[in-house]
Each structure stands twice: as C-alpha cells, then as structure tokens.
Amino acid sequence: MHNYMFIILLLLKAALVNPFYLPGLTPVNFCPQEMEKPNCKSDIKVYVNRLNSKNTILDYEYHDFDFCLGNEDEDTPVENLGQVLFGERIRPSPYKIKFLKNETCRLLCNKFYDGKVMADVRKLRRLKHGIAKGYYHHWIVDNLPVTFCVSHGICFNGFPMGTTSLDIIGGSSGKSGYGEVYLFNHVDFIIEYRDLSHDPNYFDDPVGGRIISVKVVPLSINHIKEDSLDCDNSEMLSLNDDFHDTNIIYTYSVKFLKTDIKWASRWDYILNSKSTTSIQWFGITNSILIVLFLTGMIGVIFLRTLRRDISRYNQFDSSDDIQEEFGWKLVHGDVFRPPACRLLLSVFLGSGAQILCMVFVTLVLACLGFLSPARRGALMTCGVVLYICFGFVNGYVSATFYKAFGGTLWKKNIFLSAVLCPGIIFAGFFLCNIILWSQSSSAAIPFSTLLLLLFLWFGVSTPLTYLGAFIAFQRSSWSYPVRTNQIPRQIPPQPFFSKPLPATVMAGILPFGSIYVQMFFMFNSLWAHLTYYMFGFLFVVYLILLVTISETSIILCYFQLCGEDYRWWWRAFFSSAFTAFYLLVYSVYFYLYKLTIVGVVSTVLYFSYCLIFVFIFFIMCGKYCC
C-alpha cells in the first residue's frame, strides 16, 4: 500500500507540470518575403478541417458546404490512422497570408446563387442548416488550432459558421436577431508571433519569428460589390427563407502582433484552466479517501480474522478435542474448483489483460508528453497500435487461465481469444460507420482504412494471440495449494446481501465513485470537441480505480467464502466489471442533462459509441479482479 501511495503522490506532482515539446516537434521559422530562405519561409499556410457541432454527432467536410475552395494540388499534412478514425479531413484553404504583411478587407471569392436554380437553392439551404445546427469551422495554422476567443479570455478551438443571435457578436442591424440566420463571410486573423531578431537564445541567423497563436474574429458583412468592399459595414449578411438571388462575398483581414511568449509555451492558453484543475483536485481527493476507506476495511477484516483464528487454535491446543473447521476454511477443498463456462471466462480475462496493458502504456506515454495535442491523432494511433501488439498478452493470459481451469478445447480457446471481444468492438464501430456513410458524414471511416484495420487484426494481432497462447500451453499449469474435492460441497442458503445480484450491484458503486469526476471531463472533451490534456490526473485516477476494484473484490470474495459459497471466479469478475453499468447510467445522465444533441441519428450514434466504450470498460475492469 505504501508503494501505491508513493506512486500516486509522484504522479500528482507530475500532473502539475506544464506541457512541453519533445525534440521531434521542431519549430518553423517565418520571415518577410524579401528575406525568405530555405530555413525561413514567408508563406503561412492555412488548412481547413472538418466542421462539427455540439448539437449533432454528424461531422462534415469543409468541401461539403459551398465555401471558397483552395488549390487541391497543394501539399497537405499526411493524416495518420488516429486522425482518420476521428474523422479529421485536412485540406488546403484559399487564404493567402505572408509573414508580417497585414491585410485589410481582402477579397477571397464571390459566390452567386440563382434563386431559380435548385442546385443553388440546395447549397444555400445547406449553409443555413449548418448555421442553425451550430457547426464550427476548425482551421490549422503552423500546426496550431485557430481559436475563437470570447469574454474573459476564454478561447475555443474553431469558430462558428454563423449566428442566429446578435448577442453573440454585439452587432445591430435593426432586425430581430432571432428567426434570422447570418453567415460569417469575413474573418479577422490575429496572428501573434515571437520576434527572433534580438532573441539571445537564438544564435543561428536571427531573423524572422515564430508563430505563437492564431485567433480569428468572425463577422457577418453584407458586401454590395467586389470593387467597393467595406468591412466596417454594420449591415449583416442574412440568409432568408425565400432564397432570392443571393450574392455572398467572402473577405478576410490579417493583423500581426508581437508577443514575448516562448514557442514552447504557445499551447498553454488553450490547455491551461485553473477552474478545471481545482475540480480535478477535488476528484483526486475523493478517490484517495475511497481507497483509504477500503484499505482500512480490509485491514480490519484480516486483523480480526487472524486474531480470532489464533485464539481458537490456542483453545484447541489446551484440549484433546478434534479441531473442527469453521467459516471459509470449510470450502478449502472446493475453492479452486473450475468455474462454469471456463472457456468464456478465460477469453474475457485475456481480452481484459490486453486492454489493461494498452491503457496503461498509452497513459504513461501521454504523461511523458509523447502524445501531446501538437501530435494530431497520436493518441488514437498509439492506442490502436498498442492494442494490436498486446494481442500476445491476450493469448498468453487466456491460455494460462484456461489451462489452469482444466480446459481441453485449446483451439477454440485461442480462436475466441483472437476474435470474440475484438469482433464485438469492430462490429459496433462498423454499424456506426454504416449510419455515418448513409448520412454522408466525414466521420465515416473510409473503406481503405477499414481494410487496414482488418489487416492489423487478422494479420498482426491474431498471430500474436496464437503465439502467446502457444507459449502458455507449453508451460506447466498452476499448482494449487490444496486438492479439489471430487464431490462438490453443498452451498447453504445465503443472506440477501451475499446473493450474486445485490453483491454485484453494491460492488460497482465505490470504483465508479473514484472516477466519476474524471468521466465528466472525458465526456465533455469528447462530445463538446474540446482539447483534453489532463493525462497526469487521468493516470492517477486510473491507478486509484485499479486499487479500488481489487480491494472491493477482496472484501466481497471474503464474505462470500465465509458464507461457504466457493463459486467466486465469476462473482469476482462481475463485481469488478459491474462498474461499467454505472458508467452506462452516467452516459444516459450526461445525454439528458449535459448534452444538446438533437435528432434520432445522433442519439443512436451517441448511445452506440457509449455501449462500445462500456463494453471495453467492462472487460478491462473484470480482468483486474483475477
């Protein structure tokens, strides 16, 4: 226990450390066009990404809306596996920005829609639908998300397509802000940079600078003509329901501001949040108190048991009576009896070990900074690769338990270990993908990526599973300290709290209580499209969860054996895994009271993804009991 507390305190200290950049993430130097050189570029590339909304799970590509398009022949950042799985679709934009060159009301493009042409009407309706649904642009400049800042310095990744309320931008057009839909057809780029010309830390040809932040101020401006642009015009561009002939002129402005913030700290204003940190500390404190309570309870149980056993042995030493076994000692000849459905239990334990190892290593790498937000898609890519590689652990653990249970269907054991749980997860994602395909959403995984996942599953993970199982079957089986009786002992009637269902339901409360605060931040980041970087806190909570699960299982198994019920294998698994049931209940609560998702399709997708996550959590927690 002292080792656990030392690790937890060490990780709490690590959780306070500011994020840092690794050597692999090299800064890009920019300089004015007249000073451009190979290691100092003047063009600042703006890339567009998918559009998403907190009101729906259906994401769409930038090209799905009729915006100004960039040159598709330009080079774009290569998307890794994690980015594709998360639905990111990065494309070049038409915005032309030169370092330190301010622009004012520059024309981007002109879009004319004929109210009598149905194709044009559909494009306008799609724009209006996107604004009404609250879709956000997500742009990238120098590997930084373009942010939209509101009052009190609160900044969000991305900015809205438009608005249906004038209160958001503080404008006035003489019309009601409700019932009207206004398109943001102008953006003001505010680019903060650090000047390297007089930086004492920069000795290699000190010219130019490095981009620190990119913020935008979106505006709705009803431009009249291309040759007479007026970005100070207060009249807003409204998309009416009647869809008359409409002319939309897109413009932008650029302003450069010097700052003293270092390049290594440029993500801080996006990631740092004092309010969420205080809540995290509350959650950590609550979790530690739960661990201390369970540890004290286990200590009391074992101390009382040992003291009572010693006193009984002392009484028997002073008499010639035959020592009669009592309590949990009555079932010593049945406690290692193989469980029912031994094949299924061993498969679940192997898959749980695979997930446990994947989550643990991923969180360690994230805490060390290898999976920072600057490495887009790295977290998901790392998780998938580790899950595939830990197929060896799956096969080894599953075969070890199955052999210890006395199983003989070893081929079936290996096959189910390789395909059952991964197959359920893949089938769930595939069904969700069919729904996304039917809605033409950019979140749909391309067919080529699905083929890649199938290759990783059957071409890499499955052989590793067979290899791990082969090694386990070649080794000698566990040797139990006592022999199992040939005739099973009759189990006496159990009190209500010791019956399987009540005991299992009670078992999941405390483990879930240790993680519910962290679950809020994870769900909020996932469904509200926020950047999550509290991996130090998450790792601490993960360790506390494992300790809580193990201690809860010990207590319940002890009381079960004291009741002379030796069927503890599945009870231990379900008592730990039932924490996932409370996670499912929390996902329903989060949907009803925290989310603003509307529509049948989005609701089905939300609960489908939650069920997949709950199943993964179920298998992972169940494994840690054994």
What is the DSSP code string of 403-419?
HHTT---HHHHHHHHHH
Q: pLDDT tens digits, residue range 94-117?
A: 999 999 999 999 999 999 998 888
- Rounded-to-integer distance, Cα 114 and Cα 182, Å: 19
Q: Which residues of 375-394 are buried (b: 16+ CB within 10 A; e: fewer)?
A: bbbbbbbbbbbbbbbbbbbb
Distance CA 537, CA 544 (A): 11
Token output for 411: 């081929």
Q: Say if residue 552's pLDDT is above 90.
A: no
Q: Residue 416: what residue type? A: L
Residue 604 · residue 435 · CB < 8 Å: yes
In the prediction, which pLDDT does 147 show? 92
Residue 452 pLDDT > 60: yes
Contact residues for 440 (Cβ-Cβ < 8 A; gap 6+): 60, 64
Condensed to tens digits (0 to 9), the pLDDT of residues 242-258 reads: 667 888 999 999 999 99
- pLDDT-based confidence at residue 558 (cuts at 50, 70, 90): confident
At residue 233, the pLDDT reads: 80
- Helix 600-623 with 410-438: angle, nearest 10 deg: 160
Q: Which residues pair with 195 in a beta bridge?
A: 209
Q: What is the mean pLDDT of the chain?
A: 84
Higher pLDDT, 202 or 417: 417
Assess whether pLDDT exceeds 60 at residue 132. Answer: yes
Query: Residue 224: which pLDDT band, with cuts at 50, 70 and 90?
Result: confident
Q: What is the pLDDT of residue 177?
A: 42
Separation CA 242–CA 249 (nearest Å): 19
Helix (H, G, I), strand (E, B) or coil at 259: coil
What is the reported pLDDT for 470?
Answer: 94
Question: Helix, strand, coil shares of the chain as percentages rounded to 5?
Answer: 50, 15, 35
Start-to-end CA span in the chain (Å): 18
Integer CA distances (angstroms), 307 to 194, 303, 419, in order: 69, 6, 49
Distance CA 193, CA 211 (A): 4
CA 139 to mean position of chain CA atoms: 21
Looking at residue 495, the DSSP 8-state letter turns out to be P
Written as six digits, the tokens of 171 are 């404008």
Rounded distance between C-alpha atoms, residue 542 and residue 548, angstroms: 10
Burial class (CB in 10 A: 0-12, 13-18, 19+), 13: exposed
Burial tier of 251 (Cβ tally within 10 Å: 0-12, 13-18, 19+): buried
> Is residue 471 scored above 60 in pLDDT?
yes
SS3 182: strand
Look at the chain and count its residues. Answer: 626
What is the pLDDT confidence band of residue 77, given thresholds at 50, 70 and 90?
A: confident
- Higher-scoring residue by pLDDT: 177, 124: 124
With a cut of 80, say whether residue 81 has pLDDT above it: yes
Neighbouring residues of 463: CB distance < 8 A, sequence distance ≥ 6: 391
pLDDT for 208: 80
Least confident window among 263-277, 496-510, 529-543, 580-594: 263-277
Cα 103-107-113 angle, rounded to 5 deg: 155
| pLDDT in the model for residue 199 | 66
413 has pLDDT over 90: yes
The residue among 208, 188, 190 whose CA lies nearest residue 198 is 208
CA–CA separation, 623 and 394 (whole Å) = 11
pLDDT band at 483 (very low <50, low <70, confident <90, very high): confident
Kindly report the backbone phi and psi dihedral angles of residue 451, in degrees, each rounded to the nearest multiple of 5, phi listed first: -65, -40
Q: Residue 326 — very low, low, confident or very high, per pLDDT cuts 50/70/90?
A: low
pLDDT of res. 166: 52
- 3-class SS string, 539-600: HHHHHHHHHHHHHHHHHHHHHHHHCCCCCCHHHHHHHHHCHHHHHHHHHHHHHHHCCCCCCH
Distance (Å, whole) CA 504 – CA 572: 9
Q: Report residue 626's pLDDT band, with 50, 70 and 90 as the boundaries.
A: low
| CA separation for the pair 296, 291 (Å, rounded) | 9
pLDDT at 19: 42
Residue 534 pLDDT: 82
Lookup result for tokens 């206004």: 182
- Confidence (pLDDT) at 486: 73
Among the ranges given (69-83, 100-114, 255-269, 582-596), the one the predictor scored with the smallest mean pLDDT: 69-83
3-state secondary structure of 514: coil
Read off the pLDDT band of 14 (50, 70, 90).
Answer: very low
- pLDDT bucket at 12, cuts 50 / 70 / 90: very low
Considering only 101-105, 413-417, 554-558, which range has the smallest mean pLDDT?
A: 554-558
In the numeric block, which tokens belong to residue 8? 């937890």
pLDDT of residue 454: 96
Model pTM score: 0.87
Asked whether 470 and 106 are in contact (CB, 8 A), the reply is: no
Question: How many whole angstroms separate alpha carbon 496 and alpha carbon 206?
Answer: 77
Report how far residue 273's alpha carbon sits from residue 275's, in angstroms, rounded to the nearest whole number: 6
Q: How far is CA 588 from CA 159, 450, 591, 603, 611, in A?
A: 28, 29, 5, 11, 11
Amino acid identity of 404?
Answer: A
Which has more confidence, 311 or 605?
605
Contacts of 479 (CB under 8 A, 6+ apart): none
pLDDT over threshold 50, residue 209: yes
Would you say residue 47 has pLDDT above 60?
yes
Q: How confident is the model at residue 176 (pLDDT cuts 50, 70, 90)?
A: very low
